[in-house]
């Protein structure tokens, strides 16, 4: 019998969340962001759930090739572009769309004769200072792209650093972007999940929802449920042992938790080798048979401990939800000092995945 841990992927929730994203921008086309194996949910699982999505946005050209091989004909945007001339040729052969964000990417396009022209998203740096041409150079970049026989449709793009922070928002970056593009009559994409939800002015020709598609909130203080989103992943396991503690007894590596009273703890088959955060501390919420309790002591490679003292009727074999449809992943992430994105992407290959 295998370990009881498993990750459930809720296809209905994926469909629902895509519908929420689409409803926010009914006049925009939607790139479903499916990088990092669809934020840990499985690339093909997510693609199937999203159905007649307008397009996909992805980082990994291997994933883009898999989508094409599976019969998906929608636009597929490579968010960091092609990294070499062979990748550039492959992108052309597969009819992938390319982000071009620096001189090296432009030079590759100008150095090669491609099997077919590629649609290009020219990324401008409006203030995040990560990727992108200086926004004020947009006219020069567009002129070079327009003069290149390898380039088809051109779209202008930027990415916001603080769309998820209401106190700062997108105003400064959006103003810089708009001032730079001036009267250029080209399609535009600027909205990630946070901007799509919070800023109607960011809902342009294309929008690029990511985290919201998987049922997590992009905002630290707004629960996903308040945004109409549903959790698309549940990580669950079972109690495999029960221990009785006396005052002064300790739990786990480093003896970091010391019992202040007589206690009962349950040992759960889940650890950091499964993707649960090792840095989650005592007090991180966990559900056992639908009742809320807490993590105690350090998370080890294959197990963690939870308090059962005040949770009646549970024991070996009781169901544990580490996060999911009853316990929001954002709540667990906040308690562990991280974000839901990291937890989703960290699920280990050794954890069985079941689509439900």
> What CA–CA distance (Å, rounded) separates 179 from 157?
13
pLDDT reported for residue 139 = 96
Q: How far apart are CA 355 and CA 232, in angstroms?
A: 10
Taking only the tens place, the pLDDT of each residue in 272-289 is 999 999 999 999 999 999
| Measured CA angle at 178 (ends 173, 180), to 5 deg | 95
Contacts of 253 by beta carbon, 8 Å cutoff, 6+ apart: 297, 298, 300
% of the chain exceeding 70 in pLDDT: 100
Q: Hey, how many other C-beta atoms are within 10 angstroms of the C-beta on 165?
A: 14
Average pLDDT, the chain: 97
pLDDT in the model for residue 303: 98
Beta bridge partners of 244: 264
Q: State the Cα–Cα distance between residues 190 and 199, nearest whole angstrom.
A: 11
Taking residue 220's Cβ as centre, other Cβ atoms within 10 Å add up to 12
- Look up the pTM and report it: 0.96
What's the pLDDT tens digit per position in 136-157? Answer: 999 999 999 999 999 999 999 9
The burial class, CB within 10 Å (0-12 / 13-18 / 19+), for 15 is: middle
* HSE-up of residue 322 (Cα within 13 Å, Cβ side): 33
Instruction: For residue 1, name the pLDDT band (cuts at 50, 70, 90).
Output: low
Helix (H) or strand (E) holding 251: strand 250-251
Answer whether residue 253 shows pLDDT above 80. Answer: yes
Residue 334 binned pLDDT confidence (cut-offs 50, 70, 90) = very high
Q: For residue range 9-62, what is the model confidence (pLDDT) as tens digits?
A: 999 999 999 999 999 999 999 999 999 999 999 999 999 999 999 999 999 999
Could you give the residue range(s) of every CATH 3.20.20.10 domain in the chain? 11-216
The rounded distance, in Å, linking the Cα atoms of 6 and 345 is 15
State residue 48 phi and psi, 5-degree precision: -65, -40
- CATH 2.40.37.10 maps onto the chain at 233-355
**For the domain 233-355, what is the CATH code?**
2.40.37.10
DSSP state of 293: E
CB 336, CB 328: distance < 8 Å: no
| C-alpha dihedral, 328 to 226 to 168 to 193, nearest 10° | 70
Given CATH 3.20.20.10, say whether it is the number of domain 11-216: yes
- Quick: pLDDT tens for 71-99: 999 999 999 999 999 999 999 999 999 99
- Tens of pLDDT, residues 98-118: 999 999 999 999 998 999 999
User: Alpha-carbon distance 216 to 264, whole Å?
Assistant: 32
Give CA separation, 50 vs 34, 56, 70, 94, in Å: 10, 10, 14, 21
Question: Could you list the active site residues?
Answer: 35, 253
Average pLDDT over residues 59-73: 98
Tokens describing residue 8: 């459930």
């Amino acid at each position: 019998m295998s370990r009881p841990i498993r990750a459930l992927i809720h296809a209905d929730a994926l469909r629902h969340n895509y519908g929420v994203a689409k409803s926010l921008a009914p006049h925009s086309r939607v790139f479903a962001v499916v990088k990092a194996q669809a934020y840990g949910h499985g690339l093909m699982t997510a693609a199937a759930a999203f159905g007649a999505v307008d397009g996909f946005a992805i980082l990994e050209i291997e994933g883009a090739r898999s989508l094409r091989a599976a019969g998906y004909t929608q636009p597929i945007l490579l968010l960091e572009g092609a990294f070499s001339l062979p990748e550039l040729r492959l992108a052309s052969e597969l009819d992938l769309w390319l982000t071009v964000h620096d001189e090296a990417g432009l030079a590759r396009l100008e150095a090669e004769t491609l099997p077919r022209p590629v649609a290009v998203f020219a990324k401008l740096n409006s203030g995040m200072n990560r990727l992108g041409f200086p926004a004020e150079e947009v006219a020069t970049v567009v002129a070079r792209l327009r003069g290149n026989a390898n380039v088809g449709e051109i779209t202008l793009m930027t990415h916001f650093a603080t769309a998820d922070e209401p106190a700062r928002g997108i105003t400064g970056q959006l103003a810089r972007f708009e001032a730079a593009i001036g009267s250029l009559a080209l399609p535009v994409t600027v909205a990630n999940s946070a901007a799509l939800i919070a800023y109607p002015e960011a809902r342009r020709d294309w929008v690029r929802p990511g985290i919201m598609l998987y049922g997590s909130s992009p905002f630290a203080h707004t629960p996903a449920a308040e945004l109409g989103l549903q959790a698309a992943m549940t990580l669950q396991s079972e109690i495999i042992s029960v221990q009785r503690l006396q005052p002064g007894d300790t739990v786990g590596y480093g003896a970091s938790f010391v019992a202040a009273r007589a206690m009962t703890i349950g040992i759960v088959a889940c650890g950091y080798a499964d993707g649960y955060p090792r840095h989650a501390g005592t007090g991180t919420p966990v559900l056992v048979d639908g009742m809320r309790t807490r993590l105690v002591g350090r998370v080890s490679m294959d197990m963690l401990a939870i308090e059962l003292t005040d949770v009646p009727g549970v024991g070996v074999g009781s169901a544990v939800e580490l996060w999911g449809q009853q316990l929001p992943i954002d709540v667990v992430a906040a308690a562990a000092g991280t974000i839901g994105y990291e937890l989703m992407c960290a699920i280990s290959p050794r954890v069985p995945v079941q689509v439900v």
